[in-house]
Structure 1
Amino acid sequence: MKRPLLTTLLSLTGLTLAQSAGPVQLDLTLNLVRSVKVDGKPTEQLTPNPGAVLPGQVLSQVVTARNTGTTALKNVPITLPVPRNTFYLAPEQGLSGARAEYSFDGGKTFGTAPLKKTVTVTENGKAVRKEIEVKPSEYTTVRWTVAELAAGKTLKLGYRVQVK
């Protein structure tokens, strides 16, 4: 799963970035996240655009949004799919506080975490509908709504995934 997975990751995210038209320019950065020791202290090492990824490795996906227009934009939606052969772990720390919503159905519906879904289970021989919490590993798409993006300004949004 080395080269094909990375190609899939990049092509999926490229499709998402290509859907942005108008004054918002999106640039995606994909980094392999590794824990290393520096001066005896654990720290993270980010390897940009890794040539290969293996099951269990963690990737950081960060999109930089830039307003290339001359006026502020309001309520800008920015959507990224969780790449195939990975599962969502968590938001990237220290980035913009834009409101994040998640989807577990490929981007058809979105909601704030924790998401809920209704399932049918059998209890005592009867079909019963129950509402259960969707695990973050089941998220398929992340959408941020940026309240305002001033002309010429940029912001970073992102999350981490783990390779299946």
Structure 2
Amino acid sequence: MSTVVSDCFTIGSIVATRTCYNEEIEGEVLAFDPQTKMLILKCPSSSGNPKRHDVNIVNLSLVSDVQIKKEVTTVPEPPQSLNLHRLNTRVRNSIENKKRLVTALAACLDPEGQKLFLAITRVIDDVTWVGQNIRVYNEVTITPPYKVENVIGDLDSKPYNYIKKVVEKHWRDQRESSANSSQHQ
């Protein structure tokens, strides 16, 4: 079924395949495993975004045609090794952050307060619960019912004005979301 041109594909080469479903896949070779006959191709994004790419894994046992459009003769640089210490630190920090969020959300039973708390934590790390109040940067407090007028702090400070804008945006998004969901019913 397969008319494979080569037993090995050079990383960086441009290859075109035709699958058994008559689908054409063309892209740059990222990897090839001769034992399993799996070819990994980096193709232009199906979304049309030039900054993104699709990655296709092609089983060469299930293709009817393979053509090498452009052969790369230079040996590519070996891939950079992963910084495992850095990755482990990111994982540990992410887990600690999620645990902190779960603990913080358990402190407040008000669903509106929880939604606002989550909205703030998306843009600011220094957010905690103090009783039923949301405390940001240890400078700004948001009391129930967590509306813009419930933001308390130094009116002239940058943190106060920024938090106030975050709260305004949160409630504007909530109104738009509820308006859109009522239109679709």
TM norm structure 2: 0.20
Structure with higher Rg: it is 2
What TM-score does the superposition give when structure 1 sets the normalisation length? 0.22
- In terms of fraction of residues, the more helix-rich structure is 2
Greater RCO (Cα-Cα under 8 Å, separation 6 or more): 1
